[in-house]
Amino acid sequence: MAAIASTDASPSARGDAPRISFVSLGCPKALVDSERIITSLRSEGYELSRHHEGADLVIVNTCGFLDSAKAESLAAIGDALKENGKVIVTGCMGAEPEQIRDVHPGVLAVTGPQQYESVLAAVHQAVPPTHDPFVDLVPPQGIKLTPRHYAYLKISEGCNNRCTFCIIPKLRGDLVSRPAADVLREAERLVGAGVKELLVISQDTSAYGVDVKYATSQWKDREVRARFLDLARELGSLGAWVRMHYVYPYPHVDEVIGLMSDGVILPYLDIPFQHASPSVLKRMKRPAAQEKTLARIQAWRAACPDLTLRSTFIVGFPGETEAEFEELIDFLDEAELDRVGCFKYEPVAGAPANDLGAAIPEEVKEARWKRFMEVQQRVSARRLRRKVGTRQQVIIDSVGPTVAIGRSKADAPEIDGHVHVAARRPLRVGEIVTVKIERADAYDLHGTAVGF
Ligand code: SF4
């Protein structure tokens, strides 16, 4: 995912506040980093500019996950240099600064992912702050790049797994979990500021707390363990929708399903399975790959019939045979996942997977991807049709002249489908309404608001 996030600034009382143009590329985790940097800059009196031209400085938060993302990052840096000239680079690509300096020797500074202090130091050096605490008030929840009614909540950095196609542990290091009380304080501030939906993210959400041996921290009148189940329960008590992303099917995930059927957190699990053939999963070194996935899915659905399962897969992994691909297709047919994304394998420089088997020719990858999508589209459409005639709670994301666009509990922002809502009164962004579902198409639902 890539997002340009040159956020507009509120006009300052001073005419001379330094102005910064910000480009945020990459995944939601990178977006959270961008939000933190911007929050700090705003608290120091910097303003944000919509355009590179006329700004005092440009910051580019890069993504280095795939070669295509790196190319996009390098192009964004090139544009910033051309249009402005003063550029600081941060984010995943910053972990290997020579990749940037070889192409763009003119950048002022390069810092790596989560190096907030280094980014700020580089900004101070290039454009010193003119801080006025009476003017530069930042709202207590920080500056959000997501709409006000939902927010990403990052619970840890890094990853202890070593999936062979991924260089994130190399870029971001091993798992470092935030204390539970820290996460809860941030979540409470966000909810207090009007956020209605918290999207819990990390590289491996179900591994939360493993690195700190599930240490407890003081939250209100009680001690809370840094453990997936305990954190989920506490987050669910804050009064917002809580949606879990990047969960691996470790055995203890079963316990969280109970919180979903009890309505404490959303009945939604985003589990990046990536493949279904045991031999490919082994070559990928995927976490929890040995678990009996189909049986687990059936048990989860029996315990929580409303559960939505989203996943992502990779086709054309090095050495993937026709038989292994067929195993994946059979899994799709049986697992009946609700929402699925599929990527054609792309070799990432430095990833061990590139040497694990023969590269799959592009036309074979393409054919497998098409077949995969056809099968999954049928499954997804079938599952969506079952919702016709039901009533769903829908959070409104945007409003148009006749129809508002929202999402049900089954739809995460940016990656899943929408619900198109007709209503007899104007709806507000962030409002949660009950919608009677009248129609389904391949990805979206359509209905009428019946409860406000
Ligand atoms: S779980 Fe695997 S794919 Fe995800 S960040 Fe960790 S190593 Fe990479």
Count how many Cα atoms sit within 13 Å of the Cα of residue 32 in the half-sphere of its side chain.
20
Nearest CA to ligand 1 atom 5: 203
Dist. CA 27–CA 157, nearest whole Å: 13
Average pLDDT over residues 135-150: 66
Q: What are phi and psi of 101, to 5 degrees?
A: -65, -30
Q: Is the CB of 204 under 6 A from ligand 1?
A: yes
**279 pLDDT band (50/70/90 cuts)?**
very high
Count Cβ atoms within 10 A of the Cβ of residue 285 and give its class: 0-12 exposed, 13-18 middle, 19 or more buried.
middle
Q: What is the DSSP letter of 402?
A: S
351 Cβ below 6 A of ligand 1: no
Q: CA 223, CA 220: separation in Å to the nearest integer?
A: 8
Task: Judge contact between 167 and 351, C-beta under 8 A.
Answer: yes
- Which residues are 448's β-sheet partners? 422, 436
The rounded distance, in Å, linking the Cα atoms of 31 and 100 is 20
Among 29, 163, 283, 343, the mutation site with the greatest number of ligand 1 atoms within 8 A of its Cβ is 163
Q: Ligand 1: distance of its center to the CA of 1 in Å? A: 16
The helix (H) or strand (E) run that includes residue 148 is none
Phi, psi of 219 (to 5 degrees): -130, 115
Residues 167-175, mean pLDDT to the nearest whole number: 86
Cα 25 to ligand 1 centroid, rounded to whole Å: 19
- Of 8, 132, 16, 108, the C-alpha closest to 58 is 108
- Verify whether ligand 1 is closer than 6 Å to residue 169 (CB atom): yes
Q: Which of 155, 161, 285 to mutate to test the pocket of ligand 1 (most atoms within 8 A of CB)?
A: 161
Least confident of 115-129, 130-144, 344-358, 434-448: 130-144
Write down the pLDDT at residue 396. 97
Average pLDDT over residues 303-332: 96
- 322-335 and 293-303 helices cross at what angle (nearest 10)? 10
163 lines ligand 1 (CB under 6 A): yes
Is residue 161 in contact with ligand 1, taking CB distance under 6 Å?
yes
Amino acid 282 reads K
Establish whether residue 232 lines the binding site of ligand 1, counting it when its CB lies within 6 angstroms of any ligand atom.
Answer: no
Residues 210-236: pLDDT tens digits?
Answer: 999 999 999 999 999 999 999 999 999
Q: Residue 350: its pLDDT value, please?
A: 82
pLDDT band at 124 (very low <50, low <70, confident <90, very high): confident
What is the 203 CA–ligand 1 centroid distance (Å)?
A: 6
What is the per-residue pLDDT for 168?
Answer: 83
Task: Give the Cα separation of 382 and 241 in Å (integer).
Answer: 26
Instruction: Work out the mean pLDDT of the chain and round it to a whole number.
Output: 89
Q: What's the rounded mean pLDDT across residues 69-86?
A: 94
DSSP SS3 for 409: coil
At 171, the pLDDT band (50, 70, 90 cuts) reads: confident
Of 159, 282, 311, which is best to mutate to test ligand 1, by the most ligand atoms within 8 angstroms of its C-beta? Answer: 159
Name which residue leads in pLDDT, 442 or 240.
240
Split at pLDDT 50, 70, 90, the class of 140 is: low
Higher pLDDT, 144 or 364: 364
Which atom of ligand 1 is closest in space to residue 159's alpha carbon? 6
Using pLDDT thresholds of 50, 70 and 90, give the confidence band for residue 112: confident
Q: Over 60: is that where the pLDDT of 153 sits? A: yes
Residue 52 token pair = 């590179």
What are 196's two structure tokens? 């209605």
The stretch 385-401 carries a mean pLDDT of: 95
Which residue is closest in CA terms to ligand 1's atom 8?
A: 166
Residue of 29, 160, 166 to test ligand 1 pocket, by largest number of atoms within 8 Å of CB: 166
pLDDT band at 43 (very low <50, low <70, confident <90, very high): low
Cβ(107)–Cβ(101) below 8 Å: yes
Query: What is residue 131's predicted lDDT score, i.e. its pLDDT?
Result: 53
CB 159 less than 6 A from any atom of ligand 1: yes
- Return the C-alpha torsion angle 199, 200, 204, 205, nearest 10: -140
Of the ranges 128-137, 267-276, 301-310, 395-404, which one carries the lowest mean pLDDT score? 128-137
Cα separation, 294 vs 277, in Å, equals 12
Question: Does the beta carbon of 203 lie inside 6 Å of ligand 1?
Answer: yes
166 lines ligand 1 (CB under 6 A): yes
Tell how far CA 115 is from the center of its chain.
19
Question: Per-residue DSSP letters for 200-268?
Answer: EE-SSGGGTTGGGTT-EEEETTEEEES-HHHHHHHHHTTSSEEEE-S----TTHHHHHHHHHTTSS-SE
Give the integer Cα–Cα distance in Å for 283 and 295.
Answer: 22
- Confidence label for 8 from pLDDT (cuts 50, 70 and 90): very low
User: DSSP alpha helices (H): ranges in 293-390?
Assistant: 293-303, 322-335, 362-385
In the three-class reduction of DSSP (H, G, I as helix; E, B as strand; rest coil), residue 79 is classed as helix
In this prediction, residue 141 carries a pLDDT of 58
Ligand 1 midpoint to CA 330 (Å): 25
Q: State the distance from the centre of ligand 1 to the C-alpha of 161, rounded, in angstroms.
A: 6
pLDDT, tens only, 10-23: 333 335 688 999 99
Measured from the Cα of 287, ligand 1's closest atom is 1
How close is the Cα of 294 to the center of ligand 1, in Å?
Answer: 22
Give the sign of the dihedral formed by CA 49, CA 51, CA 55, CA 60: positive
**pLDDT given at position 139:** 55
| Calpha distance 452→435 (Å, rounded) | 9
The CB of 69 under 6 Å from ligand 1? The reply is: no
Which string of b and e fits 245-282 if b means at least 16 CB within 10 Å? bbbbbeeebeebbebbeeebbbbbbbbbbbbbbeebbe
The mean per-residue pLDDT over the stretch 255-268 comes to 96
